[in-house]
């Protein structure tokens, strides 16, 4: 009994040790991933201070932080808040419409044949090409800005929904037919869960494009926002202001995408996928 218990304890200890090695390695890579951008900023700071980089073109990160601090927390927060509200409003409108239209096109070949040529043409129009048209139609208030952001978010989500539904395994659809599921039940219980991974990926891409289109949108007579900060820095010849707005955009984009990734992990926790296996082995 004693020998058996000893062997059991030894085996359990060996298993724990073998499982702890991937966890420790992944933790080190995550720490390195977080430290990498700070190391890049430190390298730029050193290069500017040493005169290797021209400070009138690439300001030192400490100078950028000093500029943001000089602007004041309240003023910077107003710019961030204005841009964030526009992104959320535009993304919500564009992604919501894309989910409905994409589902209709994915479920009906007739609807797809009717709308796809028009969407292919509209998808190729650059973001800045919409600006004069939206100004002409909607004026210079918030409506054209939110509309432009919604346009940017619409197309990647729409493509993901259509491709996700059309890419569902035919055997799953046939199984639903065997169980005599209604068209709505088939969509809700088979098509939507099977297409959800690709739909969530489209939502993440649409959110990132919403931030990009926000910069173009705030060129439409904006008086606050990160896009306005970029434009103001360019017109006044202040690279510190331009880089400050860029760093804030990068930070906000990372935070919102991280929130979307956490939502994705919860929505798709049921998947028996390679990513799930890798995560379990590393935990």
- Three-state SS sequence of the chain: CHHHHHHHHHHHHHHHHHHHHHHHHHHHHHHHHHHHHHHHHHHHHHHHHCCCCCCCCCCCHHHHHHHHHHHCHHHHHHHHHHHHHHHHHHHHHHHHHHHHHHHHHHHCHHHHHHHHHHHHHHHCCCHHHHHHHHHHHHCCCHHHHHHHHHHHHHHHHHHHHHHHHHCCCHHHHHHHHHCCCCHHHHHHHHHHHHHHHHHHHHHHHHHHHHHHHHHHHCCCCCCCCHHHHHHHHHHHCCHHHHHHHHHHHHHHHHHHHHHHHHHHHHHCCCCCCHHHHHHHHHC
For residues 218, 212, 250, 51, the Cα torsion angle rounded to the nearest 10 degrees is: -80
| pLDDT at residue 277, as a whole number | 46
| Residue 5: pLDDT over 70 | no
Confidence of residue 250 (pLDDT cuts 50, 70, 90): very high
| pLDDT at residue 203, as a whole number | 95
Range in 123-127, 143-147, 231-235, 273-277 with the lowest mean pLDDT: 273-277
| pLDDT at residue 223, as a whole number | 84
Residue 34 or residue 274, greater confidence: 34
Task: Give the global pTM.
Answer: 0.84
Confidence of residue 274 (pLDDT cuts 50, 70, 90): low
| pLDDT at residue 267, as a whole number | 85
Q: How far apart are CA 235 and CA 131, in angstroms?
A: 19
Confidence of residue 15 (pLDDT cuts 50, 70, 90): very low
| pLDDT at residue 14, as a whole number | 47
| pLDDT at residue 255, as a whole number | 93
Q: Please state the rounded mean pLDDT for residues 223-228.
A: 88
Residue 56 or residue 145, greater confidence: 145
pLDDT 10s digits, 35-51: 888 899 899 999 998 88
- Average pLDDT score, the chain: 85
pLDDT 10s digits, 78-99: 999 999 999 999 999 999 999 9
| pLDDT at residue 33, as a whole number | 82
């Amino acid at each position: 009994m004693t020998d058996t218990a000893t062997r059991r304890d030894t085996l359990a200890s060996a298993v724990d040790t073998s499982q702890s090695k991937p966890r420790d390695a992944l933790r080190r890579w995550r720490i390195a991933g977080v430290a990498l951008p700070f190391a890049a900023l430190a390298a730029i700071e050193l290069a500017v201070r040493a005169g290797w980089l021209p400070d009138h073109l690439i300001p030192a990160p400490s100078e950028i932080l000093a500029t943001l601090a000089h602007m004041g927390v309240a003023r910077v927060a107003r710019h961030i808040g204005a841009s964030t509200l526009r992104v959320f409003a535009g993304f919500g409108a564009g992604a919501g419409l894309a989910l409905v239209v994409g589902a209709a096109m994915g479920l009906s070949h007739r609807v797809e044949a009717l709308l796809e040529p028009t969407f292919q043409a509209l998808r190729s129009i650059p973001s800045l090409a919409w600006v004069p048209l939206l100004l002409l139609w909607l004026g210079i208030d918030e409506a054209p800005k939110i509309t432009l952001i919604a346009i940017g978010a619409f197309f990647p989500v729409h493509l993901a929904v259509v491709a996700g539904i059309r890419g569902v395994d035919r055997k799953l659809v046939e199984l639903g037919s065997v169980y005599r599921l209604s068209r709505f039940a088939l969509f809700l219980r088979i098509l939507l869960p099977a297409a959800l991974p690709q739909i969530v990926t489209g939502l993440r891409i649409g959110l990132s494009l919403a931030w990009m289109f926000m910069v173009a949108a705030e060129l439409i007579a904006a008086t606050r926002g990160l896009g306005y900060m970029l434009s103001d820095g360019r017109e006044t010849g202040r690279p510190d202001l331009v880089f400050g707005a860029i760093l804030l955009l990068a930070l906000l984009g990372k935070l919102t995408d991280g929130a979307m990734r956490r939502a994705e992990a919860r929505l798709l926790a049921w998947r028996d996928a390679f990513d799930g296996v890798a995560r379990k082995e590393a935990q």
